[in-house]
Amino acid sequence: MSEPASTHHAHGHGAHDDHHHEENFFLKYFWSTDHKVIGMQYLLTGMFMALFGGFFPYVFRMQLAFPGISVPFYGVVSPTEYNALVTNHGTVMIFWVAMPVLIAAFGNYLIPLMIGADDMVFPRLNRLSYQVFAVSVVVIIASFLVPQGGFGGAWTAYPPLSANPDYNLTPWGSTLWLVAVALEFIAFLIGGINFITTAMNSRAPGMRWSDVPMVVWMICIASILFMASVGPLMAGAVMLAFDQNLGTHFFDPKAGGDPILWQHLFWFFGHPEVYVVLLPATGIVAEVITTFSRKKLFGYKTILYTAIGTGVLSFFVWAHHQFIAGIDPRMANVFTVTTVLISIPIAEMMFLFIATLYGGSIRFKTPMLWALSFIALFMIGGVTGIPLGASGSDIYLHDSYYVIAHFHYTFFPIAIIGSFTALTYWFPKMFGRMMNETLGQVHFWITAIAVNGIFIPLFVLGAAGQHRRIYNYNHFAQLSTPDLQALRILATVSLVILLLAQFLFLFNFFYSMFFGEKASKNPWKGCTLEWTTESPPGHGNWPADQLPTVYRGPYEYGVEGRDEDYWPQNVPN
Amino acid sequence: MIERLIQPVSTFAGDIDQLFFGIHMVVGFWFFLVQGMFFYLLFRYRYREGVPTTYVTGKEKHLKKWINIPHILIILCDVGVIFFAVQTWYNVKQNLPEADATIRIVSQQWAWSFVHPGEDGELGTDDDIKTVDELHVQEGMTYHFQLESRDVLHSFSVPVFRLKQDAVPGRVITGWFEPMHTGVYDIQCAEMCGIGHGIMGARIHIESAEDHAAWIASKKGT
Amino acid sequence: MHGKPIANTRSATGIPTAKLAVYWLIGSEIVIFGGVLISYLMHRLGHPEWAYDAAHTQTWIGAINTFILLTSSLFAVQAHHFAEKKEGATAARWLYLTALGGGMFLCLKAYEWYGEISHGYTITAAPFWSFYYTAAGIHASHVIAGMIIMLFVAQTAKKNEELHRVENVGLYWHFVDLVWIFLFPLLYIAK
Ligand code: HEA
Ligand code: HEA
Ligand code: CUA
Ligand SMILES: [Cu+2]
């Protein structure tokens, strides 16, 4: 199993020759074990789900801005539908957009290319991971087509509401929702094991751990975090499923169960989960800012330590979602301390990214604009986590729109901006063509401005006492004032603008895929290994006898005494 | 900042508003500092013809201090935030002052019922006053509340009090508040509790001593 | 069929790739069982009265099952031993024996559950029983999975192919065994 790398030639060559025959379309795109194809499958599925995840807020925000109207392309929103839309918006965005795009799509696509391997170590397991994921997609979509409609008990699915159809009135929706989420977890566990073992074992000859590109590190750390935190929730999901369908009472206080137990299991996963999506996005940003500022990453190892530190700390903060949930009030103090302290590694990471710009030669191409806007906007989300983590002020802010605004200022930069950063940056590699720069910039500016138009009003609304998951504020005298309504309308209008701008992107994406200008191997002059092969890379990524060997770190930009301002990892000298 | 948007009506509302304001000052300072630095660097080191990039690893002492000093200052700020946060929390949630009266709050899908102590000031006696979706309290009195739920999780939230507490079936959770100004304000349910979550509101009537006595008298025998 | 990727033949850590993956798999399973067990323990400590229900578990069946699983783990070690010596056929025989141990475990379990259910101690009877069936049920599903994988591995091992898999499936089996070592005292002995 573990022969030295030099013996690979013969073996690899044989394997490569097998693939010169034409595969039929089905085998090539649906039954492939090629990590690039699987990455693409995840990407397109994630983008498809983003259409749902983006359409739902359009519907429910229209309802909030203009209560009771018949929403164009949807109709009148009933309270049940409102709840189901919000619940599934949250669930879909996190589990079917952020995770598949940031981790699975780019993890699959980039890990082998960036570590100089021809594929994942377990290609068939990889295919299985996508297939399980595809089933989960079908199940979650099915969950809102069943009688009584989709699950509406919030993405946190707190029992007893979620456990008992007498309370939630969606016997089918809630079970299918749970099954879909569990399947998705399984897909990511399989995928994660594959990512981690690949990165650990299959690096190109010469690649030390400090030569591994940051995004690979981040995806692996995220996969480990996910793996370590999701277990208890898997167990909890089994228990909840039994409560729903077999009549057990794990979470039902009337028969000796405990609803708070679920909250612990959920948030023990839920909080690390936010860093599971954060870290890959920061990894992507690290790649892009180094390339476009022509700078070595400032403090590579320190960034790594901050990521690991964040990951470790994230296991000790979960109860900050439960300060007022009826847990022992003394516990809140412990969790306030850990929560506020997590600002330290994250602040440090942001500082290091910003310090990377120092002394550079910054080019504001579309991917760079996205990466920079990630830093600028994520910081808003980050600092507003502090008033929430401070137990005293969370008494007021909990479950208000302040929380909503806080986490959209983290999630939007991560899931949407992070994805755009990665897509625009690696598009030439993935499809062999360049995206249109002008369209890309127009799309960037509209999106980046509109997102503030959505979520800044929500901070104000939250501070004014507006609660979450309420389909019509007219029932509350203090919340139905014209001033507050104006803010709601502002948010909704900004959202509509933002959504319309996405058509620019989709057009650019599909148009450039077929008609864009042909891309060279290394259009951005990057140092990492994926830029040393064809765009798009062929089967096996490199000809089997030319797999790269690594001589240096991934960010050697501007080294003195060289003609070029970059020094690819695979060039001997 | 909050008090501009919504009136503070309990004795601890002001503390929470202050804490909120204080934290925002601290993080706001850092936020603008960091963003300022960020945009300055973007402008200063933008691409210019003929100006090469530099090779910096991040190990240089004179540059590293730009990370390390803020790092230590942030730890100090964190300690401050934690101190004031815990102090406020302790006063609102952990330390219950002596009660003048106790009320019971029962939540269920999707209504609130309130049990007031009535004339004798004692809960659990015959003259208790039960109401649905309206709570009557007297200005300047310290209340304890016993919060219960009959079915799923709910959350008793009075924005003007800055008070929120989840109701958990099978448990009785005790908390306190002391209303400051008379008026009628919203009570909301702040925990997803099913289809009617969005309409699960109630009103709190804060009355002067005379008005409150009059209200109790009017309920006598019902 | 696609050939094995070159990636699969590298080993930068020095640990064979498949073994590394098994370690990660076991790691991810530990947290699943950890979740069940910690949930159970929190409840159990909070509800001394569960002991009445726990008193109805049949300790001796649990004990025999513990013994069976431990023995089968020993067989798995034997299988590994012969796989190291490249004696695939012998290794396969030991694997069959290991799987047989799993089968006996399941039969006893079925007998035990049948008895309990017919006495009315069903999964909904009391919270203790919910945990009892859920924890042991998740464990049993791992036993089944382990057996199936073992039979597949035995098929290839017989032909002296992919002998490294014998060790890997053995590792997994030890883990499944270990989980039972935790479950047994918690569900049967603590009364
Ligand atoms: C990826 C998403 C993401 C990220 C990264 C974060 C990051 C953080 N979150 Fe957030 N959070 C969510 C997603 C996320 N969160 C979601 C989805 C919810 C709601 C779930 C629900 O109920 O539905 C939530 C809710 C939530 C709550 C519960 C609120 C409530 O319901 O009552 C709390 C409370 O502590 C919290 C805190 C924090 C903190 C302290 C951080 C920290 O990691 C932030 C650290 C970063 C910084 C601090 C910025 C950089 C630092 C500086 C510029 C230096 C200056 C700073 C200081 C001096 C402190 N979050
Ligand atoms: C990753 C997470 C994520 C993302 C990106 C978003 C994006 C958005 N969210 Fe959401 N949201 C949540 C996670 C997320 N949300 C969660 C967890 C909840 C809580 C649910 C609960 O309470 O249970 C929530 C709740 C929530 C509420 C509260 C509802 C309520 O409590 O009543 C609101 C209200 O305005 C809202 C609005 C929006 C809006 C306007 C966007 C917009 O930014 C959306 C814009 C959409 C797009 C930009 C997608 C279209 C883009 C493409 C098709 C391009 C291709 C795509 C890729 C390259 C990926 N969200
Ligand atoms: Cu009751 Cu929400
Ligand atoms: Cu959190």
Domain termination site, one of B48, B66, B94:
B94
Residue whose CB lies within 8 A of the most ligand 2 atoms, among A61, A89, A273, for a mutation test: A89
- Report the percentage of chain A scoring pLDDT > 90: 80
The minimum CA-CA distance between A351 and chain C, rounded to whole Å, is: 32
Query: Which two three-digit tokens encode residue A221?
Result: 């750390």
Nearest CA in chain B to A398: B164
For the CA atoms of chain A, what is the radius of gyration? 24
Q: Strands B134-138 and B129-132: what pairing?
A: unpaired
As a whole number of angstroms, the distance between CA A33 and CA A120 comes to: 9
pLDDT grade, residue A11 (50/70/90)? very low
Contact A296, A556 (CB under 8 A): yes
User: Does residue A29 lie in a domain region?
Assistant: no
- Return the pLDDT at B79: 94
Ligand 3 centroid distance, CA of B108 (Å): 8
- List ligand 1's pocket residues with C-beta within 6 A: A 156, 274, 277-278, 320-321, 339, 342-343, 346-347, 350, 379, 382-383, 385-386, 388-389, 394, 397-399, 403, 406-407, 410-411, 414; B 26-27, 30-31, 34, 74, 77-78
Question: Which among A259, A399, A463 has CB closest to B169?
Answer: A259
Over range A169-173, report the average pLDDT: 90
Q: Which amino acid is at A226?
A: F
For the CA atoms of chain C, what is the radius of gyration? 19
Ligand 2 centroid distance, CA of A113 (Å): 31
Q: Going by CA atoms, what residue is nearest to atom 44 of ligand 1?
A: A382
- Report the percentage of chain B scoring pLDDT > 90: 73
- Ligand 3 pocket check for B154: Cβ under 6 Å: yes
Cβ distance B82 to A302 less than 8 Å, yes or no, reads no
As a whole number of angstroms, the distance between CA B196 and CA B109 comes to: 7
As a whole number of angstroms, the distance between CA A42 and CA A324 comes to: 38
As a whole number of angstroms, the distance between CA A64 and CA A33 comes to: 45
User: Does residue A7 lie in a domain region?
Assistant: no
- Return the pLDDT at A524: 93
Sign of the four-CA dihedral B1, B2, B6, B7 = negative
Phi, psi (degrees; rounded to nearest 5) at B71 = -55, -50
- Return the pLDDT at C176: 94
For residue C188, pLDDT beyond 80: yes
- In total, how many domains does chain C have? 1
For residue A26, pLDDT beyond 80: no
Domain termination site, one of B94, B113, B130:
B94
DSSP B46: B
Closest CA to C154 of C104, C77, C86, C89: C89
Give Dmax (Cα) for chain A: 77
Whether B88 and B138 share a structural domain: no
Contact A371, B7 (CB under 8 A): no
**Would you call C12 an interface residue with chain A, using a CB distance cutoff of 8 Å?**
yes
CB contacts under 8 A, A 160-219 vs B, are 160-161, 167-169
Nearest CA in chain B to A350: B34
- Return the pLDDT at A23: 60
Ligand 4 centroid distance, CA of C119 (Å): 45
- In total, how many domains does chain A have? 1
- Report the percentage of chain C scoring pLDDT > 70: 98
As a whole number of angstroms, the distance between CA A548 and CA A203 comes to: 10
Lowest mean pLDDT among A11-20, B111-120, C53-62: A11-20
Collect all residues with Cβ–Cβ distance below 8 Å to A302 and sequence separation of at least 6: A348, A352, B58, B67
For residue A556, pLDDT beyond 80: yes
User: Does residue A563 lie in a domain region?
Assistant: no
Residue C108 DSSP SS3: helix
- Return the pLDDT at A348: 94
As a whole number of angstroms, the distance between CA B104 and CA B93 comes to: 17
Q: Strands B134-138 and B201-207: what pairing?
A: parallel
For residue A20, pLDDT beyond 60: no
CATH number for the domain spanning A41: value is: 1.20.210.10
- Return the pLDDT at C43: 87
Contact A464, A481 (CB under 8 A): no
**Residue-wise pLDDT tens digits, A447-459:** 999 999 999 999 9
Residue A119 DSSP SS3: coil
Say whether the B–C interface has 3 or more Cβ pairs within 8 Å. Answer: no
As a whole number of angstroms, the distance between CA A392 and CA A389 comes to: 9
Whether B25 and B123 share a structural domain: no
**Residue-wise pLDDT tens digits, B170-194:** 899 999 999 999 999 999 999 999 9
User: Does residue C4 lie in a domain region?
Assistant: no
DSSP C2: P
Whether B68 and B32 share a structural domain: yes
Which residue(s) pair with B155 in the sheet? Answer: B166
As a whole number of angstroms, the distance between CA C38 and CA C45 comes to: 10
All partners of chain B with 3 or more CB pairs under 8 angstroms: A
For residue A207, pLDDT beyond 70: yes
Whether B63 and B139 share a structural domain: no
Question: Which among A117, A118, A200 has CB closest to C13?
Answer: A200
For residue A509, pLDDT beyond 90: yes
For residue A216, pLDDT beyond 50: yes
Strand ranges of the sheet holding B143-149, from the earlier edge strand across to the other edge: B129-132, B111-116, B101-108, B143-149, B173-177
For residue C187, pLDDT beyond 90: no
- In total, how many domains does chain B have? 2
For residue A10, pLDDT beyond 60: no
Contact C167, C150 (CB under 8 A): no
CATH number for the domain spanning C53: value is: 1.20.120.80
User: Does residue C175 lie in a domain region?
Assistant: yes
Query: Which two three-digit tokens encode residue A270?
Result: 């839920």
pLDDT grade, residue B222 (50/70/90)? low
CB contacts under 8 A, A 494-523 vs B, are none
Cβ distance A265 to C35 less than 8 Å, yes or no, reads yes
pLDDT grade, residue C3 (50/70/90)? low
Over range A79-102, report the average pLDDT: 94
For residue A566, pLDDT beyond 60: yes
Ligand located closest to A317 CA: 4
Give Dmax (Cα) for chain C: 59
Contact A71, A62 (CB under 8 A): yes
**Residue-wise pLDDT tens digits, A290-338:** 999 999 999 999 999 999 999 999 999 999 999 999 888 899 999 999 9
For residue B45, pLDDT beyond 50: yes
**Would you call C141 an interface residue with chain A, using a CB distance cutoff of 8 Å?**
no
Nearest CA in chain B to A357: B41
- Ligand 2 pocket check for A51: Cβ under 6 Å: yes
Cβ distance A477 to B186 less than 8 Å, yes or no, reads yes
Over range A264-292, report the average pLDDT: 95
As a whole number of angstroms, the distance between CA C121 and CA C113 comes to: 9
- Return the pLDDT at B61: 84
- Return the pLDDT at A22: 54
| Per-chain mean pLDDT for chain C | 89
Q: In C, which residues are within 8 Å of A207 by CB distance?
A: 12
| Per-chain mean pLDDT for chain B | 91
Query: Which two three-digit tokens encode residue A536?
Result: 């798009």
**Residue-wise pLDDT tens digits, B121-134:** 788 788 888 999 99
For residue A16, pLDDT beyond 60: no
Q: Which helix (H) or strand (E) holds A30?
A: none
All partners of chain C with 3 or more CB pairs under 8 angstroms: A
As a whole number of angstroms, the distance between CA A470 and CA B188 comes to: 10
Cβ distance C31 to A112 less than 8 Å, yes or no, reads no
| Per-chain mean pLDDT for chain A | 91
Whether B139 and B65 share a structural domain: no
pLDDT grade, residue B156 (50/70/90)? very high
CATH number for the domain spanning B179: value is: 2.60.40.420
Q: Going by CA atoms, what residue is nearest to atom 1 of ligand 3?
A: B154
HSE, side-chain direction, 13 A CA sphere, residue B166: 26
Residue C117 is part of which domain span?
15-189
- Return the pLDDT at C88: 86
Residue B206 is part of which domain span?
101-218
Q: In A, which residues are within 8 Å of C9 by CB distance?
A: 1, 3, 8, 11
Closest CA to A541 of A204, A187, A42: A204
All partners of chain A with 3 or more CB pairs under 8 angstroms: B, C
User: Does residue A504 lie in a domain region?
Assistant: yes
For residue A189, pLDDT beyond 50: yes
**Residue-wise pLDDT tens digits, A382-440:** 999 999 999 999 999 999 999 999 999 999 999 999 999 999 999 999 999 999 999 99
Contact A490, A453 (CB under 8 A): yes
pLDDT grade, residue B105 (50/70/90)? very high
Q: What atom of ligand 3 comes closest to residue B154's alpha carbon?
A: 1
User: Does residue C22 lie in a domain region?
Assistant: yes
Check residues B27 and B121 and name the one with the higher pLDDT. B27
Ligand 1 centroid distance, CA of A403 (Å): 9
The minimum CA-CA distance between B217 and chain A, rounded to whole Å, is: 28
- Return the pLDDT at C54: 82
Residue B179 DSSP SS3: strand
Q: What atom of ligand 1 comes closest to residue B73's alpha carbon?
A: 58
What is the secondary structure of A34-69 as a DSSP string?
-HHHHHHHHHHHHHHHHHHHHHHHHHHHHHHHSTT-
As a whole number of angstroms, the distance between CA C167 and CA C46 comes to: 41
Domain termination site, one of B94, B128, B150:
B94
Collect all residues with Cβ–Cβ distance below 8 Å to B91 and sequence separation of at least 6: B12, B15
Residue A389 is part of which domain span?
35-546
Say whether the C–A interface has 3 or more Cβ pairs within 8 Å. Answer: yes
Over range B25-38, report the average pLDDT: 95
- Return the pLDDT at B75: 93
As a whole number of angstroms, the distance between CA B12 and CA B16 comes to: 7
Contact B56, B41 (CB under 8 A): no
- Ligand 3 pocket check for B193: Cβ under 6 Å: yes
The minimum CA-CA distance between C175 and chain A, rounded to whole Å, is: 16
Nearest CA in chain B to A555: B57
pLDDT grade, residue C1 (50/70/90)? very low
**Residue-wise pLDDT tens digits, C31-90:** 999 999 999 998 888 888 888 888 888 888 989 999 999 999 999 999 999 988 888 889
Query: Which two three-digit tokens encode residue A121?
Result: 């170590």
For residue A5, pLDDT beyond 50: no
